Amino acid sequence: MNASEIRKAYLDFFAARGHVVIPSASLLPENDPTTLFTGSGMQPMVPYLLGETHPEGTRIADSQKCFRSGDIEEVGDNRHTTFFEMLGNWSLGDYFKKEQVGWMFEFLTRELLIDPKRLYVTVFRGNDAIGIPKDEETVGYWQEAYSSVGIDAKAVDFSERDGMANGRIFYYEEKKNWWSRSGTPDKMPVGEPGGPDTEMFWDYGIERGLHETSSFAKLPCHVNCDCGRFVEIGNNVFMQYVKTDAGFVELPKRNVDFGGGLERLAMAVNDDPDIFRISLFDGARASIEKVTGKTYGMNASETYAFRVALDHLRAATFLIADGVVPSNKDQGYFVRRLVRRAIRFAHKLGADDAFCGSVVAAYVETYRGAYPELGAKMAFIADEIVKEEAKFKTSLEKGLKEFEKIFASSSVVSGIDAFNLYQSYGFPWELTEELAREKGQIVDRDVFQGEFKKHQDLSRAGSEQKFTGGLADHSAEVVRLHTATHMLHQALRTVLGDHVFQRGSNITAERARFDFSHGDKMTPEQITQVEDIVNENIRRALPVHFEILELDEAKRRGAIGVFEDKYASLGGKIKVYFIGDPSTGSGQAMDAGYYSREVCGGPHVENTKELGAFRITKEEAVAAGIRRIKATLTV
C-alpha cells in the first residue's frame, strides 16, 4: 500500500467502527495562544478531551496536518521532517483500552499486513508513590491480540542493562509512557487530567546493523533506542486520571487519544528506514532529479541536500495553502526560512535555475485527492514560492556585496558579522565560511551559533510551547476571560462595524489578548464605548449555552466565525455558543435577544455575572489592517 492508500484504509477502518471522519484543521491554530502552528494531531481536540461536547459525537477520526518548526535543523537524516500527517482516532467517554488495543492490532496486521513478529509495544510501569498501578490491563489486551496470531508476548520491565531481554511488551517509566499537557505526573497541577499510554514500534531488523554502526553501539539496543533500528509508529493515550489535592483519582469519563504518523506507517509498510522513499515524495523527488541531473541516494552529502529541499518545499506548500506567505515575522518567517533553505540546498545539487514551481506542482498532484484545496490554490502557492525564490537570489547578491564591504573595512569577518549577514540577507553560514576560507580566514562558528541560538530562542518563545488547544489552561480565570473575548468581539462589531472579525487570541489567567480586523486606531471614546457595552451585558447576568447546529443553520441564525475554510468540506455539525436570553430581547441585544452567537469549541462560564468588571488596558496595531486589544477582568 502507498501512503495515500494507508490514509484511506485507516479512515475507512474507523468509519466502519462508528467514527465520524472529520477534515484536518488548519496548520494555523484557532484561538491557541501558545503556538504558531498545529504541531500534533490531538492539538485541535484538547477542548473535547477535557470535557467539551464534540459536535460530531463521541467517536472521531481524522488525518491532521502538522508542522513543527523546531525540527527544521534536524531535517537531513532519514527520518525527520517538519511537516507530517497524524492519523488519529478518539473516544470521548466511549470505548476504552480493550477496543483500542484490539482495533490497532487488527488494523496494523490485517489491513496494512504488518508482520506482528516485528511489532513491539511499550506500556506504563506504574508509580506506587502516587498510587497509580502498573498498566497490566493494557498488557493483557496486547497479549490476547498477539496470542490470536500465535505469538507468546512476554512482558518485561525495561532495563537499559538488559536491553530487549527477549521481551515483546516493555514497561517504561512515566517519562516514556505517561501523557498530560504538563508532562510527568509530578509536574501536573491540580485539576489537570492525564493517563498512561502504550506505544507501538516497528523493527527494521537486527540484520541491517543499524545499532552496531550507531553511536549507541556500546549499549544494549531496545525499542526506545535512538539507533534507528526501531521507529515508533503510533501512540495510544488513555486519559484516565485527574490530579486532585488528595492525589490522583479516576476520571468519570475516560478518553482514548490515538496518534500515528502516516509517513512512519508508510515506512514500516515499505520496510525501508528512509522516510524520503515513501510514495508521498516520489513526484517531488523525480522533479528535483530532473532539474539537477542528480539521483537521490548516490552519496551522503547530496542525499542530505535532497532531503532538506524535499521536506522544506512540502511544508511550505501546505503552509502557504493555509494562508501563510513568506515574511520576516511570526509564521511567515518560518515559510521564508523553509523556502530559502530549500533553494540553498538544491543549488548544491546544481539547481541553478528556478525549480521550486515544478516541485510544488508535484506535491499538489500527490496530495490533491486528500486535500483538494491544494489544487484550488495551486497558482497562489506557486506564485508565492517563485517570488520568494527570486527575492532570495537578490538577497544573495546583496549579501555578497555586504560581505566584501565587511572584509574591505576590517580584513576580518567575525561570527557576529556572519550572523548579521544571515539575519539581514538570508546569507547562509556555509557560504560565509566558504568565502572567508578563500580569503585565508576562519570565522568563529561558536560565536555565530551563540548569536543564532539567541535568535532561535526568541523566535520559538512565541512558537511551540507545551500547552495546546486554544487556551493556556482551563482554569476558572482563563475560562472567564475566554467568555469575555466573545463579548468583546460583539461589542467591537457594534461600535466599529461588521467588518470586524477575530484574527487571533491569547488568553492566560492574567489577561486576554484579542486580535481583530480593523484599519484605524480606536479613539478613546470608542474604547470606552466598547468597555461599557461589555460591562453592561455582564451586569445583565446573561445565561451562556451552546447548541450543536448544521453549518447552514448556524449561518442562518447569525453565528459568526470562519466557516468556509474550516467547515465547508465538513458538511456536518458545529458548536455555537450563545450569550443571552431570547426571551429578554432588548435594543442592545442581537436578534431574538441573544447578545452574542459565535462558533467555538469552549469552554465558557454559565452566566456573565461570573465575569466581574471588564477593562481594556491597551489597543495597538499588529499588522496592516489588524489591531490588538489587551484586557483584564477584576472581581
CA dihedral 410→411→412→417, nearest 10 degrees, is 60
Question: Which position has the grid cell 531535517?
Answer: 75
Write out 220-243 in H/E/C secondary structure: CCCCCCCCCCEEEEEEEEEEEEEE
Contact assessment for residue 255 and residue 95, using Cβ atoms and an 8 Å cutoff: no
- Percentages helix, strand, coil for the chain, rounded to the nearest 5? 45, 20, 35
Residues of the chain with pLDDT > 90: what percent?
59
Bridge partners, residue 234, by sequence: 200
Measured CA to CA, the distance from residue 545 to residue 71 in angstroms comes to 41
The CB density around residue 484, as the number of other CB atoms within 10 Å, is: 24
For the chain, list the domains and their CATH numbers: 3-275 (3.30.930.10), 282-410 (no CATH), 476-634 (3.30.980.10)
Q: How confident is the model at residue 462 (pLDDT cuts 50, 70, 90)?
A: very low
Q: How confident is the model at residue 572 (pLDDT cuts 50, 70, 90)?
A: low
Measured CA to CA, the distance from residue 566 to residue 361 in angstroms comes to 24
The pLDDT value given to residue 603: 86
Contact assessment for residue 196 and residue 238, using Cβ atoms and an 8 Å cutoff: yes
The pLDDT value given to residue 590: 42
Q: Which helix (H) or strand (E) holds 312?
A: helix 300-321
Nearest C-alpha neighbor of 355 from the set 323, 326, 312, 322: 312
**pLDDT > 50? residue 565:** no
For the chain, the average pLDDT equals 88
The pLDDT value given to residue 430: 72
Mean pLDDT of 587-595: 59
Q: Which amino acid is at 161?
A: R
Phi-psi region of 55 (alpha: psi -120 to 50; beta: other; left: phi over 0): alpha
Measured CA to CA, the distance from residue 421 to residue 427 in angstroms comes to 5
The pLDDT value given to residue 225: 93
Nearest C-alpha neighbor of 18 from the set 92, 86, 98: 92
- Choice between 163 and 430, residue whose per-residue pLDDT is larger: 163
CA distances from 611 to 98, 191, 476, 583, 632 (A): 43, 21, 10, 22, 10
Nearest C-alpha neighbor of 34 from the set 466, 481, 328, 459: 466
Contact assessment for residue 242 and residue 248, using Cβ atoms and an 8 Å cutoff: yes
CA distances from 198 to 139, 176, 236, 401 (A): 9, 9, 5, 56
Least confident of 68-72, 129-133, 240-244: 68-72
Nearest C-alpha neighbor of 194 from the set 254, 146, 151: 254
CA distances from 200 to 98, 121, 170, 203, 585 (A): 15, 4, 10, 10, 56
Q: What is the pLDDT of residues 28-57, one digit of tens each?
A: 887 665 678 998 888 888 888 888 899 999
Q: What is the pLDDT of residues 435-450, one digit of tens each?
A: 888 788 888 888 888 8
Q: Can you list the pairs that 109-118 forms with residues at least 24 positions away whose Cβ atoms lie under 8 Å?
A: 109/149, 111/9, 111/10, 111/13, 112/1, 112/6, 112/9, 112/265, 112/268, 112/269, 113/269, 114/202, 114/268, 114/269, 116/146, 116/149, 116/151, 117/151, 118/202, 118/203, 118/205
Q: What is the pLDDT of residues 71-116, one digit of tens each?
A: 888 899 999 999 999 999 999 999 999 999 999 999 999 999 999 9
Q: Half-sphere exposure of 313 toward its Cβ, with a 13 Å CA cutoff? A: 33
Q: Which amino acid is at 474?
A: H
The pLDDT value given to residue 472: 64
Q: What is the DSSP secondary-structure string of 154-189?
A: -EEE--TTTTTTT-SEEEE-HHHHEEETTSSGGGPP
Radius of gyration for the chain, computed over Cα atoms and rounded to the nearest angstrom: 26
The pLDDT value given to residue 87: 98
Q: How confident is the model at residue 457 (pLDDT cuts 50, 70, 90)?
A: low
Residues of the chain with pLDDT > 70: what percent?
93
Mean pLDDT of 378-397: 88
Most confident listed range (155-169, 342-356, 556-570, 574-588) = 155-169
How many helices, marked H, and strands, marked E, lie in the chain?
Answer: 19, 17
**pLDDT > 80? residue 396:** no
Q: What is the pLDDT of residues 226-280, one digit of tens each?
A: 899 999 999 999 999 999 999 999 988 899 999 999 999 999 999 999 999 999 9
Question: Which position has the grid cell 467517536?
Answer: 59
Least confident of 56-60, 259-263, 501-505: 501-505
The pLDDT value given to residue 589: 40
**pLDDT > 80? residue 623:** no
Q: How confident is the model at residue 529 (pLDDT cuts 50, 70, 90)?
A: very high
- Choice between 409 and 463, residue whose per-residue pLDDT is larger: 409
Kindly state the DSSP code that residue 42 receives in the 8-state scheme: T
pTM: 0.75
Cis peptide leading into 543, omega within 30 of 0? no
Q: What is the pLDDT of residues 322-343, one digit of tens each?
A: 989 888 777 888 998 899 889 8
Q: What is the pLDDT of residues 414-426, one digit of tens each?
A: 889 888 888 777 7
Residues across the chain? 635
**pLDDT > 80? residue 544:** yes
**pLDDT > 50? residue 465:** no
